[in-house]
Amino acid sequence: MSWADWWATYSTLVLSVGVYGMMALSISLTLSCGLLTLANAAFMGIGAYVSAIATTAFDLPFFEALLLGTLGSTFVALLIGLPVLRLSGVYLAMATLGFGEVVRIILLNLDITGGPLGLNGIPSLTQWWHVLSALLGTVFLLRCLRASRIGRAFEAIREDETAARLMGINTHPLKLLAFVLGAAIAGLAGGLNAHYTFTLSPGNFGFENAVDILTMAVLGGIRGLPGPLLGGAIVTLLPEVLRDLQDYRMAANGLILILVVLFLPQGLWDPQRIRGWFKRA
Amino acid sequence: MITRPALLCCRFLAALLLPLITAGALAAPAAEPIRIGVAEALTGPASQYGIPILNGFLLAAEEINAAGGINGQKLLLVTEDERGKKEEAINVFKKLIFQEKVLLIFGPTLSNSMFAAGPIANAAHVVAFGTSNTATGITDIGPYIFRSSPMESDVVPATLKTVGAHLPLHRVGIIYGNDDAFTKSGYDVFKSTLQQQQVAVVDTETYSRGDVDFKAQLTKLKAAQVDAIICPCLAEEGANILIQARALGLSVPFIGGNGFNSPALLDNAKSAAEGTWVGSPWFDGNTAAENQRFLRAYRQKFHSDPNQFSAQSYDALWMLVDTLKKITLTSQLDKNRELLRDALPMVSFAGATGPFSFRPAPSHQGKPGGYDAHQTPFVYVVRHGKFTLVR
């Protein structure tokens, strides 16, 4: 197959790998702070809808639309994060899951979002370099963050929140920062996604998607930035790679995920295990 | 699931027939098969529509190839599962267009998937032919988008007119699912049609997908004293609504949309379905020879009853064959795709769903649109536990 044919066939898949890589990074940010939140799909939805409405209804340029989408989800995350982050553990997971449902129902009932019919005829504006630069930007930002005082504080909060607080770390604003930054990344990813899939409907950002995103991060491993990227790529590519299995495709998909989680509980990318290989050699 | 055995059966048959045909046509060079893409939801919730659709295509392809194909060329269906998801629909369309090099794509199953994948086909100048997409705006995507499924806005006015001729229709109530693209667009069409035909809507009730208890809504509808209840619902919820309405002593007739045209409605609702009106592009009791032949062949091949979706896909493939027989394919795929797209609008066909032709969609802001189905729907009512045609 020629390069042009290959790209024509798989460009959407390549863009999806990038966008879902960003989604996995966004949830790994809150996970790295010890927070189990399931609102990332909803933030992706907010970013997607806001930027798609900006380009279709208001004819704004693509970059401004993306910016609006990112700011939109950031703003909502700030509002919802203030009260919700007082919770922890399963209660936080449930509250953010509930928030995701609220977003879905609102999208279903607003006129400007097209209700259950969704938004259609969104212009195809996302190019490969948009996704690549957004992804590289995200990775760069998170790398700097991890190496900084804030990143070390995140780690301290994850290992033991009480001890972190005793060490003088002001945990609440830091947790809010992780949550809001994760939402901003998700919002940007949503805006990019909306402009290469032509259509949005509320069902795209429901519970199933929230779990998919969590799976990506857990599968890849959250103890490093390559982990979520790897997980995002695998979960996105697996159904396509397994296409030849036809009816059994999704069963094989699930089986592979179970085996990985069972035998590699730290995820595929586990720096300790990889270092161990080199020592033995 | 029937698809695998069916596919195997198809291949087996082809393997049996191939030597016969090649032996007969030794003089002519062995022609390449014509590759036709089929992108339907074969797994996931939308597979309840996707699998009957695929069955219709398989049946038609088998008959066509058994009859010698098109001017000596066989049809080869390249089937891909799009799972009813927009990203998968896009991926499958790209694969079929750029890798499998198909002449035309049938599908996808859901309107939402067509909104996502249709622009891909349109930009690549390949015909995307939907057999089950009823949402408004599908054919606005562009001139390469065709559909053989009539829109609700074609079916509903005919249904209401027929009902109005047989029943006093002055005050009606509506119950519909407000979180589903199909039921919501059905509701929108009913609402505007009722307004046009000057029927008063005195009460509107809603439910969510997956609900099982509708007694609260039905009690309100009963208190509103309506002549009939409009229910643009899917058969799953529809059967429950009918049963609970009769249990509450609500005896007025129900009027359903496309979703009610399902054997499942009668099976589940039994006597509660009595007096329910349905408008649909296909009627299993249609005595036309084409429909009877389709029914017989389908039952023989799949050992089950066909539904509207298999009838529509069966007809669509035969329609394509009709068109292909009229054009001469060249060795260039791009040119063939254009030839097909120019010839397809001229289809004039009578199949299992009755007489059919295409109608150009109105263009928006100077952009050319695709082609919608032009077909007279059947309107029928449930009498003595059977769908009975009403003229």
Q: Judge: domain A11-280, CATH 3.30.1490.
A: no
Euclidean distance between the first and the last CA atom of chain B, given in angstroms as a whole number = 37
Contact residues, chain A, for B44 at CB < 8 Å: 250
The predicted pLDDT at position A281 comes to 62
- Read off the tokens for B207: 């439910």
State the average pLDDT over residues A18-42: 94
Q: In chain A, which residue's Cα lies nearest the Cα of B7? A: A246
CA angle B7, B90, A191 (to 5 degrees): 155
A11 with B179: Cβ contact below 8 A: no
Distance (Å, whole) CA A214 – CA B356 = 49
Contact residues, chain B, for A16 at CB < 8 Å: 87
Lowest mean pLDDT among A161-170, A267-276, B215-224, B292-301: A267-276
| Domains identified in chain B and CATH numbers | 3-150+287-374 (3.40.50.2300), 153-280 (3.40.50.2300)
Distance (Å, whole) CA B98 – CA B224 = 57
- Those residues whose C-beta lies under 8 Å from the C-beta of residue A260, and which sit 6 or more positions away, are A219, A267, A268
**Chain A: closest CA distance from residue B185 (Å):** 8
3-state secondary structure of A36: coil
State the average pLDDT over residues A188-217: 92
Distance (Å, whole) CA B138 – CA B141 = 6
A240 with B141: Cβ contact below 8 A: no
The predicted pLDDT at position B26 comes to 42
The predicted pLDDT at position B30 comes to 56
| Structure letter (DSSP) for residue B70 | B
Check: CB of residue B206 under 8 Å from CB of residue B177: yes
Domains of chain A, by residue range, sit at 11-280
Euclidean distance between the first and the last CA atom of chain A, given in angstroms as a whole number = 39
Distance (Å, whole) CA B114 – CA B89 = 8
B112 with A5: Cβ contact below 8 A: no
**Chain B: closest CA distance from residue A147 (Å):** 36
State yes or no: cis peptide before B281, omega within 30 of 0. no
Distance (Å, whole) CA B78 – CA B39 = 8
Check: CB of residue B7 under 8 Å from CB of residue A246: no
- The DSSP annotation for B314-352 comes to HHHHHHHHHHHHHS---S-HHHHHHHHHHHGGG-EEEET
CB-nearest partner of B87 from A12, A202, A246: A12
Nearest to B387 by CA among B284, B249, B300: B284
Nearest to A26 by CA among A70, A75, A89, A72: A70
The listed range with the strongest mean pLDDT (A251-255, B34-38, B260-264) is B34-38
Check: CB of residue B232 under 8 Å from CB of residue B173: no
Q: Is A102 part of the contact surface with chain B (CB cutoff 8 Å)?
A: no
A197 with B90: Cβ contact below 8 A: yes
Contact residues, chain A, for B137 at CB < 8 Å: 120-121
Tell me: the pLDDT tens digits for B129-145? 999 998 888 899 999 99
Q: Which residue has the higher pLDDT, B235 or A47?
A: A47
- Those residues whose C-beta lies under 8 Å from the C-beta of residue A101, and which sit 6 or more positions away, are A206, A207
Per DSSP, helices labelled H in B124-234 are 152-166, 181-196, 215-223
- Using alpha carbons, list the distances in angstroms from residue A38 to A81, A101, A108, B8: 12, 11, 20, 43
pLDDT bracket for residue B20 (50, 70, 90): very low
A9 with B99: Cβ contact below 8 A: yes
ipTM: 0.84
The predicted pLDDT at position B16 comes to 46
